[in-house]
Chains A and B, each alone.
Chain A
């Protein structure tokens, strides 16, 4: 499983998100390293289809596929299960996405 973590440095919580991702990978026994990509320019954001920081992709699929495709150096909003907006995906969100993508690969 290929896991990518894309971030924009101006968004202050990217380190917390990366820590959550690594914790979930440990807890789910997912081998391998996280490819960490620092997005630094608007051009790079467009090339990488980067909709905001942090973005986590598992085998190229976004863990929370965005509604729009406005690629920019910006911070990303996640809607949590209790409907709150957060700058971070919850561990449960990450876990659900990883499990779901893992299941789809074994079917």
Chain B
């Protein structure tokens, strides 16, 4: 179970991004909502959802939503998750959100993230409003029935509580050192 539960405040962080800048959570304090997404390069579940995350960022950017992706996997054991490979992946896929490297794994541990991908959605006051998976079908975007993250975003932007505040993240385990 994640350390952060709906209603908890975000844990601040500052991490290097593939754009060679450092990104702090507080950099996005002016956003209406921030979705911190623990993900990685090599996991097929993370990759299966990449395009959908890009679409969500694109669809909600004008409404003040910011996605921030973080990879925390041990790159020594999983070389595809190295910072260099993260940069390549971001360019190849055209990520429209920051992709940050949590090399020490401290941020992932602070949040209690366990899987990739795993979403922590915060409102403007940095309160966790939704935690879990992107939607209910990793295998086929056309077969999705419940768009958990999109529904949570709509609720947060409307100033209401998401009808589902927590789901079980589906994906690879984070590769700890």
Contacts and interface: CB of A to CB of B under 8 A. Distances in A.
Interface stretch (B6-14, B25-33, B100-108, B167-175): B167-175
B44 A12 contact: no
A75 B79 contact: no
Contacts of A85: 44, 47-48, 50
B45 interface: yes
A10 B173 contact: yes
B173 A88 contact: no
Interface in A55-94: 70, 72, 74-78, 84-88
Contact of B78 (A72, A87, A88): A72
Nearest to B116: A75
Given A10-B172, A85-B44, A87-B48, A70 B138 contact: no
Interface residues of B, number: 17
B23 interface: no
A11 B48 CA distance: 14
Most buried by A among B44, B47, B48, B77: B44
Given A74-B172, A77-B47, A87 B138 contact: yes
Most buried by B among A72, A85, A86: A85
Contact of B43 (A72, A75, A78, A84): A75
B135 to A, nearest CB: 15
Most buried by B among A12, A78, A88: A12
A72 B44 contact: no
A12 B46 CA distance: 13
B44 A87 contact: yes
A74 B170 contact: no
A86 B42 contact: no
A90 to B, nearest CB: 9
Contacts of B44: 75-78, 85-87
B110 interface: no
B48 A12 contact: no
14 contacts: A10-B173, A12-B171, A13-B138, A72-B78, A74-B43, A75-B45, A76-B44, A77-B43, A84-B141, A85-B50, A86-B44, A86-B138, A86-B139, A87-B44
